[in-house]
Structure 1
């Protein structure tokens, strides 16, 4: 945030060159503003206000390096120039010099600690430096100093949201709404908080209010679509969620092929280019619609994450599977292609309601030779025990704190006899595995030759060897469900953005082999794991 210079006092004989320069800058006339400022400087080359204004002009013109130089000259001439120090911090931040920007901001605050915008700038810098608690303190000070400033509460709400303190974030957004009831983004952000907490009716109302104020507000429309999908209104949900391609985060990741978007019509013998989006788990989930295209007589080229190419190519033998690369694979530019479609947008055409789910037992196929080798290895270790794969941690920064179920809580399950547990967790979790071994006397089988992150085809073969998978919501459950392996998925209460599990269901229309175990109270995994233990004990008894 650039802190503008205060208006100059009105001269007695008409505007000065410096005042004219400032006035022109305020109306966006950067060229004329710089012209006036440079005409003024020869007569007063050390005037700190002129040097500061020249920095503002350069910053607005996008020349950050020149702005930084001008702000530096201003503070050299006048070391107590608060706004020049503050704006020098802004220029350093734009150039990526965050620590230097932090120091410049502290220098400005030493001169004027009661300037709300400075506290807000400090908070933004501290967030980028990963100092969340310090940033939060700065945002709180900004809000206290300017209790009528909506921007302060917007920044505070965003900081709290990023730290997972959703109730406090809601209070900040509600304060912002009280100050600016016609601010669409305030209603949209409050809706996000409510959606995270599973308060879907209230979230929908917030999005509706935001869209009534600003019908072009793509984030609100996309999130409304997620709520509709989650609650089973699939037809409307797919349509509204398509607005995600107009949001800042997703617009940059959209694949812009020189083809028309598919409208669901037959392609007269030509093929459809389908391209994956989001993460690997999402691509596996949505790839369940690819066989539907063949059933409709539509051939396709599927562009996907490179790690998924071997698995998808084996599973969809009638589809040409190519890796997502830059520039795109030549196969994506063939003349036989008539249209393109994101994997998620296939749902609008192929999954308009729950009756349209085909209930396929499986649609992915693991490498049979890899499965044979791994099964022999694991059976040598497990004997006649039930082979159960487990995964308990999410690396997703938006969801990991509530999705993850710490391994030490699994004690009632891990101590059941007649089971050999196989670690399906990606990443290094050796500390947790060691703690379980020491505390509970349980050794969980870890296959060092399988890397779920680097070798998804090998990971699919590993999952295919198992009798059962028990996991939180992550890529593991999508792999197991798509392979048709029995899988019990542990769901946190805050599933407001994990739309694919819908609400209240204990089954998944995407994966017939899946059973859902939902938290009834946010953060409380104990009853969930007790239900899993009971069902697992009954499964063992039935064997």
Structure 2
């Protein structure tokens, strides 16, 4: 029994037996109740009611027995009858609040707590339950005050201390929450809710290994507690175990199938597992359960867009934005769907709305930048591009233009290898303007960049440029140096391969008078969002049918099984040396690329490397923002884009490539 029950029993037992003939029965029942003998205690309480119908203490104690048995509706009814008989007992109101909270009637529970606290200010149990009701109603700041009031009344109140820790975490004060939760668990190790809150807090602090251990301990105490399963799923997801996270979410959903938040989280995990249809089903279930859940609406919209339904996606994103005004992500996703529908003006307005609601929304700035750059609006586009998400950088001023003669400029790498190669076309111009330049780049590019830019120091991103005066991200250089199409220099190349290696590769590849053609057909990043930009090697049959061509694989991730299957199927030889590590040894990749007469590539790093080396390259891709509103890619003078036919795929474009390759090979012969 808890303290509230003891106080309630004492209130009845102090009455003189002559004045209250039910008092001896209540006293006997209370003693049994305290010792855990619920059935005989209940019998005595009911005898007391028979002796004195409507006895408030008897009704209250019967209500507490119902609470202990988990019959909270009965408890609320019985304690409510007790209050009707005597409204002046604070414990009645506090225990009614406990039952109402257990029933999910949080607003009524809050009111009952406040009545108890008016009757007895600082009553610890009432203040603690008030905090719980406020937390359930999404008011953690008020809950914190309530829990602190409970602890002032009883400093050793471990439950209130654990609840305070959970409130601090909900307020984003994880570092403050951790010691509070640890103290609560030291006093009462079996508090599963506090253990759960500690696990979540450690996850918030990025200490996922510790978080997982605490959450597993919480799960061991309550194997079928859905919130613990869901929190554990989030933690193992962060540790890269998405399949396990999805399984945990599935178990939690089996326990609480009407929890829309869980369905939404499950959809996110399923999507990461590339189970798009299942993710769509999970998001749709979340929307049915919670029609106003903006996250589920916009998540479902994003999947519908991936499934080729931009109109349906746009409708869902609009519902999400209406459900939560100011939800920037919904406006970003709406803009992407409208862009797919060909309504560039409406898409730009949607991105603008996202930035109005949240000026720091980097995805909105980036997508509006790409839309404007795709249209050839370089000035506006580069200005937006500067607002793209950025990682931590040095404590240096950023170069956004102006005279930097005599200054030491640090150029910082960003994004993928292909982007780094493209933006490196600006490095020579930056070097010409600055007094000194340090280039930070992918470690694999250091030999190539050192040879290409001898006036600059080239280093890894982790190295410290000790005396730099200012910095610039590589992708921000075009804002200063490529603000118009006329600012793109006609230089055919800015990288060179090591000459001796190139000569060796050419000697090995020479085979008659036909051209040597390097090919790259896909990317290791061929996930669900990028798959449509790539091809399979089976689609290259028309090229392999062109006579007199010597093919060589530039595919950096090997794919030797695919190569072997294609050679068997098409009766063609595709040169490939498994000893070459084209992913990590870019000097070898550059030499092999430079030994080719032509490179045919999808939109991936081998094509960018070919363009940077000045090798003729046919890039099989739909027009994207890097075309800057033109039919070419101004960054790469030797590159020729080959777009798919209207409504087609990159695989469809290979038919045209094969025809042009046949003409090239014929001319060579």
- TM-score scaled to structure 1, two decimals? 0.83
Deviates more, 1:472-481 or 1:430-439: 430-439
Check the 8 A contact 2:542/2:655 in 1, yes or no.
Answer: yes
**2:419 maps to 1:282:** yes
Please state if 1:378 is matched with 2:480: no
Q: Deviations over 1:4-47 (max 9, x none)?
A: 965163438425233222256433256555553873859xx9xx
User: Is 2:349 the partner of 1:241?
Assistant: no
Q: Are residues 390 and 61 of structure 1, via their aligned partners in 2, closer, same or farther at CA, if it must alter by over 3 Å?
A: closer
Q: Are the aligned partners of 2:230 and 2:252 in contact in 1 as well (CA < 8 Å)?
A: no
Paired position in structure 1 for 2:533: 403
Separation in 2, partners of 1:444, 1:108 = 51
User: Between Structure 1 and Structure 2, which shows a larger proportion of helix residues?
Assistant: 2
Residue 112 of structure 2 is aligned to residue 11 of structure 1: yes
Task: Give secondary structure in 1 for the equivalent of 2:656.
Answer: helix
The reply to whether residue 438 of structure 1 matches residue 564 of structure 2 is no
1:344 match: 475
Change (3 A) 1:339 1:468: same
Equivalent residues, number: 508
Find the counterpart in structure 1 of residue 233 from structure 2: 93
Moved more, 18-27 or 344-353: 18-27
* Equivalent of residue 422 in structure 1, options 526, 536, 552: 552
1:299 CA displacement: 2.8
Structure 2 counterpart of 1:455: 585
Among candidates 130, 133, 145, match of residue 20 of structure 1 = 130
Q: Distance in 2 between matches of 1:440 and 1:340?
A: 51
Q: Look up the SS of the partner of 2:524 in the other structure.
A: coil
Name the counterpart of 1:394. 523
SS in 1 for 2:665: helix
Q: Within 2, Cα distance between the matches of 1:350 and 1:4? A: 65
- How far is the alpha carbon of 1:276 from its aligned partner? 1.0
The alpha-carbon distance between structure 1 residues 377 and 4, as it changes in their structure 2 partners (threshold 3 A), is: farther
Map Cα deviations across residues 197-237 of structure 1 (whole Å, 9 max, x no partner).
76544421221232344444332122111211221111111
1:293 Cα offset (Å): 2.2
CA contact (8 A) 2:128 2:147 kept: no
For the residues of structure 2 that align with 1:21 and 1:402, how far apart are their CA atoms?
51
Deviations 1:34-70 (A, max 9, x none): 553873859xx9xxxx967656765776586798489
SS in 2 for 1:95: helix
Whether the 8 Å CA contact 1:299–1:319 is kept in 2: the answer is yes
Quick one: structure 1 residues 318 and 146, their matched pair in 2 at CA, closer, same or farther if it must change by over 3 Å?
same
Cα offset for 1:270?
2.7
Provide the secondary structure at the position in 1 that maps to 2:397: coil
Name 2:365's counterpart in structure 1.
221
Q: Deviations over 1:338-360 (max 9, x none)?
A: 21111111111100010100111
The equivalent position to 1:532 in structure 2, one of 637, 657, 669, is 657
Shift of the 511–398 alpha-carbon distance from structure 1 to 2, 3 Å rule, reads: farther
Match of 2:634 in 1: 509
Q: Judging changes above 3 Å, is the alpha-carbon distance between structure 1 residues 533 and 58 closer, same or farther for their aligned structure 2 residues?
A: closer
Equivalent-residue separation in structure 1 for 2:649 and 2:218 (angstroms): 53
Distance 1:20 1:285 in 2: 59
CA distance change for structure 1 residues 266 and 188 in 2, over 3 Å: closer, same or farther?
same
**Structure-2 residue corresponding to 1:82:** none
1:271/1:148 CA distance change after superposition, 3 Å: closer
Q: Do 1:301 and 1:321's aligned partners in 2 also have CA atoms closer than 8 Å? A: yes
Q: Aligned equivalents of 1:307 and 1:91: distance in 2?
A: 39
Provide the residue aligned with 2:466 in structure 1.
333
The separation in 2 between residues aligned to 1:165 and 1:424, in whole angstroms, is 35
5 Å-filtered alignment, 1:514-525, equals 514-525=639-650
CA separation of 1:401 and 1:293: change in aligned 2, threshold 3 A = same
Report the Cα distance in structure 1 between the residues aligned to 2:249 and 2:520, rounded to whole angstroms: 44
| Aligned CA distance change for structure 1 residues 309 and 103 (closer, same or farther; 3 Å) | closer
Counterpart of 1:369?
500
CA deviation map 1:262-314 (0-9, x unaligned): 13222342321111111111111101111112333543111101000001101
**Could you give the per-residue CA deviations for residues 368-402 of structure 1, whole angstroms, max 9, x where no partner exists?**
010111111111xx222211111111222365311
Corresponding residue SS for 2:577: coil
Distance 1:104 1:212 in 2: 38
Residue pair 2:600, 2:617 contacting (<8 A) in 1 also: yes
Partner SS for 2:478:
helix
Distance (Å, rounded) in 1 between the aligned partners of 2:663 and 2:216: 73
Q: Is the alpha carbon distance of 1:374 and 1:137 closer, same or farther for their aligned partners in structure 2, counting shifts above 3 Å?
A: same
| Residues in 1 aligned to 2:247 and 2:503: alpha-carbon distance in whole angstroms | 60
**Which has more radius of gyration?**
2
Deviation per residue, 1:410-439 (Å, 9 max, x gap): 222211111111111121322322232222
Range moving further from structure 2, 303-312 or 185-194? 185-194
1:476 positional shift: 1.1
- Contact kept, 8 Å, 1:102 with 1:126, in 2: the verdict is yes
* 1:348 alignment partner, SS class: helix
Match of 1:499 among 622, 625, 638: 625
CA separation of 1:348 and 1:67: change in aligned 2, threshold 3 A: same
Confirm or deny: 8 A CA contact 1:403 1:472 kept in the other structure: yes
Helix, strand or coil: the match of 1:365?
Answer: coil
Q: 1:282 to 1:122 in 2, by over 3 A?
A: closer
1:162 Cα offset (Å)? 6.9
Deviations 1:125-151 (A, max 9, x none): 545666554443222211122223323
Contiguous gaps of at least 5 residues in structure 2: 1-101, 118-125, 161-183, 185-189, 204-210
Change (3 A) 1:203 1:540: same
Mapped to 1, the partners of 2:664 and 2:435 lie a distance apart of 42
Q: CA shift at 1:529, angstroms?
A: 2.0
Cα distance in 2 for residues equivalent to 1:521 and 1:501: 18
Alignment of structure 1 residues 32-71 onto 2, 5 Å: 32=145, 34-35=147-148, 36=150, 39=157, 41=159, 54=194, 58=198, 68=215
1:315 aligns with 2:463: no
Q: Is residue 51–residue 74 contact of structure 1 (8 Å, CA) maintained in 2? A: no
